[in-house]
Amino acid sequence: MRAFQIENTKTFMNALLASEQFDSFLTQEAAVTTFNTFHIDGRIVRDFFDSGEETSSDFSLWKDIRPICFQLIKGKKPPVSFRAVLQAPRGLIDEIAADDECETAANLISSLVLNIRYDHGKLICVTGCSFTTFIMDKSAERVWDDYIGKFLMPFSPLT
């Protein structure tokens, strides 16, 4: 787990809400506080879909949630707070596990997440990992932290 304080909040929020940069991530949850607090549970409700519209993931893609969050946030005033928990898609988990520095098998990695928290002008991103069982090896966490550090580099993160 690693925390990154984002220096360029405006550029980061623009990338998150108005570009496709984060679109491949899955959305576990999001919350926007403006004049009210709006909670979004990213878990897909399968009963909503017709039988031919099956989805392989348990969570919605950020690209489907992003316009809703953008609509809630846009305006002259910044939100009081915003938070989102984004999860790496399975393909990225496989990529992290295949890295030479990672000694953890892909099937042992349950999720790799990026927690994004904006509160009163301060923006912090925190990485996280969960596994299907208890393991002592921390290599997957280190590779994920490094990946996110590089991913966030355009926003001048400070560790």
Model pLDDT for residues 42-99, shown as the tens digit of each residue: 999 887 877 766 677 899 999 999 999 999 998 888 899 999 999 999 999 999 999 9
Residues facing 41 on adjacent strands:
29
User: Given this model, what pLDDT does residue 51 score?
Assistant: 72
Q: Which domain holds residue 13?
A: 3-46+54-158
Model pLDDT for residues 17-48, shown as the tens digit of each residue: 999 999 999 999 999 999 999 999 999 988 78
Instruction: Tell me phi and psi for residue 18, to 5 degrees.
Output: -125, 10
**Structural domain tally of the chain?**
1
The CA distance from 145 to 3, in Å, is: 9
Q: pTM of the predicted model, to two decimals?
A: 0.89
Q: Which residue, among 83, 84, 110, 94, has the nearest Cα to 147 in the 3D structure?
A: 94
User: Given this model, what pLDDT does residue 53 score?
Assistant: 67
Model pLDDT for residues 92-128, shown as the tens digit of each residue: 999 999 999 999 999 999 999 999 999 988 999 999 9
Which runs of E-coded beta strand occur in 2-159? 3-6, 26-33, 37-41, 60-61, 81-87, 109-119, 122-131, 157-158
User: Given this model, what pLDDT does residue 151 score?
Assistant: 93
User: Given this model, what pLDDT does residue 81 score?
Assistant: 95
